[in-house]
């Protein structure tokens, strides 16, 4: 079997006396749809922040695509192929929908800041090509008709989708989704599940998903990691997790 795309080995994060994440070992394989669940405050979002380089682990090691991520800045990790969405939507509200996606293409640009001053042929060719790619990407998610609208004017569901589109524009190999179903109604959730599967198949990337909605997690994840109080208490297929007494105890109490 090939090496996992993302490998966490004994990852620990302490804030002073508080151990937010304690010796977590987990992995995400290439092209896998993995889930990360746990009660409130279990450390799921903190783990996301560790993977994306916002926090540095106090102990342990994180490897992405075979290389350690220790000390690497978040924007460099994005360049290496980790993209994310946020629990509370963090679009660029004053930018248009198209520009939100366009800036995310930034790392793949060949021209540099100086070229936008000279505005030569190459600059225009590349900008035009990016415009085309942005339109194409928005088109896949039926957002192209909002292109010129400011991102803040979109409906809640559309903003969530735009966040995913923006993350995809960075060209990731691993997409981290932080509670994508939060605040969605049942039909929107069904739509979201279809969307996540579609994204994985179409772009051939691995997805790691933090989610509270069990229907969504159980419905699409192939493998689920369970956190409680910063420790990993279980890992397995949805069926295994559903039947795991430790998980049931964590959610329902002893």
Partner 1 sequence: MAFPVAQRWLLGVLVVSLGASALSGSIDPYFLDVVMGVGVSVVLASSLNLINGFTGQFSLGHAGFMAVGAYASAMLSTVVAPRLGWSPALLQWVFFPFSLVVGGVLAALAGLAVGAPSLRLKGDYLAIVTLGFGEIIRVILQNVDAVGGARGLTGVPTYSTLFWTFGTAALTVYTVWALLNSTHGRGFLAVADDEVAAEAMGLDTTRYKITAFGIGSFFAGVAGGLYAHLKGYLNPGGFSFDKSIEIVVMVILGGMGRHAGVVFAAILLTLLPEGLRELGGRSVPNPFGGAAWSLDWIKDMRMILYSLLLIVLMLTRPQGLFHRDERRRKRA
Enumerate binding residues for partner 1 (CB under 8 A): 52, 54, 73-75, 78-79, 83-84, 86, 90-96, 99, 102-107, 109, 111-113, 115-117, 119, 123-124, 127-128, 130-131, 148-150, 166-167, 169-170
Shortest Cβ distance from residue 47 to partner 1 (Å)?
A: 15
Shortest Cβ distance from residue 206 to partner 1 (Å)?
A: 17
Write down how long the chain is: 254
Beta-ladder partners of 224: 35, 236
Nearer to partner 1, 77 or 247 (CB): 77
Whole-number Å distance between alpha carbons of 11 and 127: 41
Whole-number Å distance between alpha carbons of 49 and 53: 6
Beta-ladder partners of 11: 24
Shortest Cβ distance from residue 74 to partner 1 (Å)?
A: 5
Shortest Cβ distance from residue 116 to partner 1 (Å)?
A: 3
Whole-number Å distance between alpha carbons of 86 and 101: 15
Nearer to partner 1, 69 or 78 (CB): 78
Candidates 177, 188, 254; CA nearest to 215 is: 188
Nearer to partner 1, 25 or 96 (CB): 96
Whole-number Å distance between alpha carbons of 116 and 30: 37
Nearer to partner 1, 40 or 113 (CB): 113
């Amino acid at each position: 079997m090939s090496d996992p795309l993302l490998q966490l080995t004994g990852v620990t994060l302490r804030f002073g006396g508080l151990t937010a994440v304690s010796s977590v070992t987990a992995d995400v394989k290439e092209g896998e749809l993995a889930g990360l669940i746990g009660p409130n405050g279990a450390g799921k979002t903190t783990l996301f922040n560790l993977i994306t380089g916002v926090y540095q682990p106090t102990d342990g090691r994180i490897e992405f695509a075979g290389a350690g991520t220790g000390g690497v800045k978040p924007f460099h990790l994005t360049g290496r192929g980790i993209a994310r969405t946020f629990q509370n939507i963090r679009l660029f509200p004053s930018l248009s929908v198209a520009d939100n996606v366009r800036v995310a293409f930034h790392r793949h640009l060949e021209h540099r800041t100086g070229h936008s001053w000279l505005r030569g042929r190459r600059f225009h060719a590349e900008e035009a090509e990016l415009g085309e790619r942005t339109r194409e990407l928005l088109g896949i998610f039926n957002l192209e008709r909002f292109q010129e609208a400011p991102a803040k004017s979109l409906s809640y569901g559309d903003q969530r989708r735009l966040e995913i589109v923006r993350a995809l524009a960075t060209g990731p190999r691993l997409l981290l989704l932080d509670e994508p179903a939060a605040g969605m109604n049942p039909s929107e959730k069904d739509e979201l599940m279809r969307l996540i599967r579609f994204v994985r198949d179409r772009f051939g990337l691995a997805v790691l998903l933090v989610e509270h909605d069990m229907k969504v997690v159980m419905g699409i994840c192939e493998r689920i990691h369970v956190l409680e109080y910063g420790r990993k208490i279980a890992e397995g297929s949805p069926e295994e997790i559903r039947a795991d007494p430790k998980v049931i105890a964590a959610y329902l109490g002893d």
